[in-house]
Chains A and B, each alone.
Chain A
């Protein structure tokens, strides 16, 4: 058990809709990362927050947004959903603001299916 909790485990929704994915990091970890995993794109970094502030941005679409709250949990909001957004979305956490020498701890992911 990594200590990172993601909810929900599965989400099925229709095109054009909006969903929110939630992540609680490991106790004591201040950094939260969001990744998208799909068959054709592999594991893609979306965005990182550290102690409530956006730290780094990756391949995140404008239709997607995220935030980290004072209690350090994070939410990833996906809007105007398209079929191509169907993927596994992972949250990871680490203790340091820059992850370069500190491993990431991953949650079990949220599987999003857009129909």
Chain B
């Protein structure tokens, strides 16, 4: 069985500051990992995905995430936060023969 934890249900950063959203996973088989973003009143939108190629994955809107097997982590980062980044972010894990499992989400607030 797989599981995902996201440390911090709510993260606040100042505009221009580094964004770091944490994701740790548990999987008994090699995982595929995804970050999704949800803006208010919208569905989830794919930010980026790790599918066993490069461990540093670049996504849309300047976000990137690094797969660290030894730490079972897939943290999401962005060097400089923008007001438009305020949203809910979900980490998800999948694996061969398994369906997606989503984390509980982290709400990102960006302060002016």
Contact = CB atoms under 8 A, between A and B. Distances in A.
Contact of A104 (B95, B100, B103): B100
Interface residues of B, number: 24
Interface of B: 32, 34, 36, 41-46, 49, 51, 90, 94-105
A45 B97 contact: no
Interface stretch (A60-68, A76-84, A94-102): A94-102
Contacts of B46: 103-105
B105 A42 contact: yes
Given A42-B102, A42-B105, A45-B100, A101 B94 contact: yes
Interface residues of A, number: 22
Contacts of B49: 103
A33 B49 CA distance: 19
Contact of A90 (B44, B96, B97): B44
Contacts, number: 58
B98 to A, nearest CB: 6
A106 interface: yes
Nearest to B48: A103
B105 A100 contact: no
Nearest to B46: A103
A14 interface: no
A11 B1 CA distance: 34
Contact of A100 (B43, B97, B103, B104): B97
Contacts of B36: 106
A2 to B, nearest CB: 6
A108 interface: yes
Contacts of A104: 44, 46, 100
